[in-house]
Chain A
Amino acid sequence: MAIDRDTVRHVALLARLELSEEEIERYARELSAVLDYVAQLDALGLEDEEPLAQVNETFPPARPDHARPAPITREEALSQAPASDGTYFLVPPVVEYLEP
């Protein structure tokens, strides 16, 4: 299947990726080639196959509900933040348009 540029644009918005026009053009081409390759799965006749998302069948039990003290301090956490005020993580304002 061929992916057109509008599809790339839409997917890039979903994935929050800013792309230049050249990049959009290039990814449309490359992704189309990958999807053509992937189309070979159609030949396997998989209609009746159950999906398999995970390979393991045994797992550890769920955790007992006990709280422990926070293992990292606020200072430690905020030290990695691109913007903070010492108490909160800061981001540019969320633009919400409200119409009456």
Chain B
Amino acid sequence: MTEHWKRSAGDLARDVTAGRVGAAEVLDAHRAQADRWDPAVHALLARDDERARRTASGKLQGPLAGVPFVAKDNLCTRGLRTTCGSRILEPYVPPYDATVIARLAAAGAVLYAKANCDEFAMGSSTENSAFGPSRNPYDTERVPGGSSGGSAVATATGMSAFSLGSETGGSVRQPASFTNLVGLKPTYGRLSRYGLVAFGSSLDQVGVFARSVADCALVFSVMAGPDENDMTTRPDGAFALEGLDLSAAGGKGLTVGVPRNILSEGLHPEVARAQTRAEEALGKAGVRVKEVHLVPPAACVATYYLLATAEASSNLARFDGVRYGFRAQPADDLLSLYTKTRGQGFGPEVTRRILLGTFALSAGYYDAYYRKALQARRRIRADLLAALSGVDALLLPTAPTPAFRLGEKAMDPLAMYLSDIFTIGANLAGVPALSVPCGFTADGLPVGAQLVGPALGEGTLFRLGAALEGALGGERRWPELVS
């Protein structure tokens, strides 16, 4: 039997469309991978094999015909439990599909499971899931990154041909870097957020995990474009694959900028090596590499943790045990219904962020914290755009370290927050960024390189990503299941 789970989404769709292989057979191959891997890595939450099976045996058409995928559990799926990795939504079944889910379905893709994540996408390791952590398939003692860890693991192990995650501050790129995947954080407003359970609304974007730049671009093209249900989508957000040169030579003549000033100190040696590798590989592919300057990214982290938490404190107010989800018992009056339900329903990281965000917006502190962070955001965006002005994209590491051990940072919120240090800027500025596999550490852990472009610059990022992919070459190194 062909190992369908190893194949690209594009190949699978072509074969299914041409009738060379049945979608059910493709689905079964991926489900078998899930059966094999999931006990060791805990990537999946709700699974609906039967429905997926029904879908797969129907008539499938479109650019993703018969391609199985999983979606992060903060994307609403009609009739399929959507918990956001939280106790407070444990029983919740949405009555509607997120727009991105609907668009993928219309393109023939087959959803069969929801993927584990940090509770409400808050975290960088997937350890904050109320349903237990996911594990990195390249070393199950290590985290897969987060918050979209389950989605990453699913695609890294062949449970799915691609997967959806979401980004607020790096939650797709960082796990992509930890699990040998391509991870895209699109331009803000290019993908609909309708049906994505909000964390930091002005920062949130749905993201894509794939094993190749070409697959990533394909999936993105199917979902991108304005949505009448989301007023923050861009009217000019559609993305066409036509004319996009994803060959190894497709990046020729482009220029990337390296913000050397923020990479000098404290960088993990393996990450520094990967950065050098990426620069050399791109150089080989005919891409010019030059130096640019960026504000120290610590300011991004500070800004991010005020803005994202402030928005989250409001976004998560709706989880109160009244209309859906968990309700604490007994609650004799309304106030205790609220405080008990929320006190018991949210995990510690979510509680911490709601407290911080509530504080940052509260009377007497708004100007000193929330407003100041909005001012910093303008500065950070201007700075990033200035750095981008003379180049086609920035090239920098995705994460400051390779995958860390479970529990290593769990007790130190600030240390955890700093693992997003290189990714947050793109979210604050609303620009696209792509993490591309860039080899492995001596211990066999994947490391990613990150490309950051101007708004609507996904096409350029894909070209550069494909160039890097091509230059680094070689056969995919799959994780091995150790029993």
Let me know if chains A and B touch directly in the complex, using CB atoms closer than 8 Å: yes
* Chain A residues in the interface with B (C-beta under 8 A): 3, 7-8, 10-19, 23, 27, 30-31, 33-35, 37-38, 40-42, 44, 46, 49-56, 58-60, 63, 71-72, 76-77, 79-83, 89, 91-95
- Return the CB mask of B224-265 against A: 1 if under 8 Å, else 0: 001010011111100000000000000000000000000000
- Return the CB mask of B306-330 against A: 1 if under 8 Å, else 0: 1000000100010011111111000
Is B352 in contact with chain A by the CB < 8 A criterion?
yes
B375 touches A50 (CB 8 A): yes
Is B373 in contact with chain A by the CB < 8 A criterion?
yes
Nearest chain A CB to B324's CB is how many angstroms away?
4
Interface centre among B91, B235, B355 (most CB of A within 10 A): B355
25 intermolecular pairs with C-beta atoms under 8 Å apart = A11-B362, A15-B354, A16-B320, A16-B335, A16-B338, A17-B339, A19-B343, A27-B355, A33-B413, A37-B301, A41-B299, A46-B376, A52-B374, A52-B381, A55-B189, A55-B430, A56-B232, A56-B430, A58-B235, A80-B324, A82-B325, A82-B327, A89-B323, A92-B336, A95-B335
Binds A, one of B16-24, B92-100, B124-132, B283-291: B92-100
Question: Which chain A positions have C-beta within 8 A of B430?
Answer: 55-56
Question: Which chain A positions have C-beta within 8 A of B303?
Answer: 41
Nearest chain B CB to A84's CB is how many angstroms away?
9
- Return the CB mask of B338-372 against A: 1 if under 8 Å, else 0: 11101110100001101110110010000001011
Q: Give CA–CA (A11, B361) in the complex, Å.
A: 10
Interface centre among A23, A41, A72, A81 (most CB of B within 10 A): A41
Interface centre among A72, A82, A92 (most CB of B within 10 A): A82
A15 touches B355 (CB 8 A): yes
Question: Which chain B positions have C-beta within 8 A of A41?
Answer: 299, 302-303, 372-373, 376
Is B332 in contact with chain A by the CB < 8 A criterion?
yes
B335 touches A56 (CB 8 A): no
